[in-house]
Structure 1
């Protein structure tokens, strides 16, 4: 499967240097592709040739950190591997040693580790990923190829391309440039749709990509099922107003532990261009205030946090990471 035949794909086996080099283009900007390779929740969406699936047990994406994950078969059988990260240069490249291990990361295979180097280049809508895989033993490298590595990894990259086209499409629709923006985020006790239909009639604009409801939340392990009484409530909605400003909102029902009043139903929402800038803004603006939700990766698709500053003003920091719940 190749989701876009116009995108470059190249696979080379160099016996003399005991390497495999792979070049693949993806139809997304570099930030999005980097996120897909380095965020464990997104990795688990694609890091396995079908019908296998990937499940990350733990991951620290930093020099000296590691990712422990399992390839899970259709009958539930688990084959574990570990990536030991040896270099991380954000948005440019990272390196790791890949080994077959047990579920605790202890090597359990006669195969030695593979050295991986993953490089990212390009801007805007096309990102090129160059992968170099090296082994000390030519015999082991040839054995991996005989076991179907080329076919399996080619299929895996195709699924990543498909994932990007499907899951990242919404971001490109919602936000057509990479410029940072400021939005206003409103919370309602259950009448968001009514309010936004009113605002829509006033501003004479259209909702950005319709209305996302609580029933659209994908069922996942670790998250309780959505109560029947709130399934039709609004999870997220966006409406342009004036001068490029976006009004956003959600229902905040008591069934999910929310308690609204006139002091906590409105936030200034900052959407910086990078996680680094998001953290800086969060740390500096929240100093002396009250952090109500620590800045972290969220299941709904963002590096996100909330706080009230020392003057009583409510803020949100939202850096889209494209781990969409839809």
Structure 2
């Protein structure tokens, strides 16, 4: 957690409530998205070593989120969050309860009502103020005894890492709203060697932050990097002939990847809107093989990848300025 950011956790037994205030180092739209998008919630909501898995989510007044917390020993705990009173990027309320895998609420466990309020707080920072109400003091004390403060604080630490990494990459890697095209390359661990060679051949310069390494970023829910991976390249850009950009990352087998000729090169399209990103993805991927559907990613982009019906690999990367 960034110690410079405001954080406060208060238990008010006289009113059967818990009050949490937490500041995040990113604009309100990014923080709001992290609280209201299933793919992002799955990356931070559960305290490690637990994992959060969304079964279904419908973020609207009257909609609900059905998810589970999966423990390291295979234990699974299901929860349901029913949404109400949503004002985009300002506030939403939730009735939270334990349930089964079909969303049937377990009345034997304490439920709660959450009011989550989002507000601007200093430059490019957001304050989230949370009031959690319980039906009785007994319910409140039971939740506290179950370790709610420690678990929720750990989840918020995960979110702090996620947001700071995403916003940092977004600011560093996107400086223009103009659409563009680049070639994206994957290597099994020698990206730095390859791009130093290309730099010498083309006489170009690395753009953005140069050689960005995995050790420079934190990834919620992922195990610590071993020494062999910490110095590998997570992102690099080199402008070559005619203003064309080459980009690359290391994708070693030790991280679960397998780079082979044919899957190590993509054409990356950078549209100027989310709607255009969806259009390009849907039309180009028709009849092909989807590697990853369009979704929000940790570097601040709306991203998807696929191989078209002719065997050509594409990536769609919409990243707002």
| TM-score, normalisation: structure 1 | 0.65
Question: Which residue matches 1:210?
Answer: 211
Question: Which residue matches 2:294?
Answer: 296
The answer as to 2:60 corresponding to 1:65 is: no
Distance in structure 2 (CA, Å) of the matches to 1:187 and 1:147: 47
Distance in structure 2 (CA, Å) of the matches to 1:265 and 1:147: 48
1:75 corresponds to which of 73, 76, 84: 73
Distance in structure 1 (CA, Å) of the matches to 2:146 and 2:233: 48
Question: Which residue matches 1:180?
Answer: 177
Question: Which residue matches 1:229?
Answer: none
Q: 1:15-34 counterparts in 2 under 5 A?
A: 15-34=13-32
| TM-score, normalisation: structure 2 | 0.66
Query: Larger relative contact order (C-alpha < 8 A, sep ≥ 6)?
Result: 2
Contact 1:68 1:104 in 2 (8 A): no
Contact 1:174 1:209 in 2 (8 A): no
Shift of 1:96: 1.9
Count of residues in correspondence between the two structures: 288
Shift of 1:94: 2.7
The answer as to 2:119 corresponding to 1:121 is: yes
The answer as to 2:38 corresponding to 1:43 is: no
Gaps of 5+ in 1: 222-232, 309-313, 322-326
Distance in structure 2 (CA, Å) of the matches to 1:159 and 1:112: 25
Distance 1:320 1:118, change over 3 A: farther
Contact 2:266 2:314 in 1 (8 A): no
Contact 1:269 1:315 in 2 (8 A): no
Shift of 1:128: 0.9
Question: Which residue matches 1:171?
Answer: 169
Distance 1:197 1:315, change over 3 A: same
Which sits farther off after the overlay, 189-198 or 61-70? Answer: 189-198
Cα RMSD after superposing both structures: 4.7
Contact 2:267 2:315 in 1 (8 A): no
Distance 1:182 1:240, change over 3 A: farther
Distance in structure 2 (CA, Å) of the matches to 1:93 and 1:99: 20
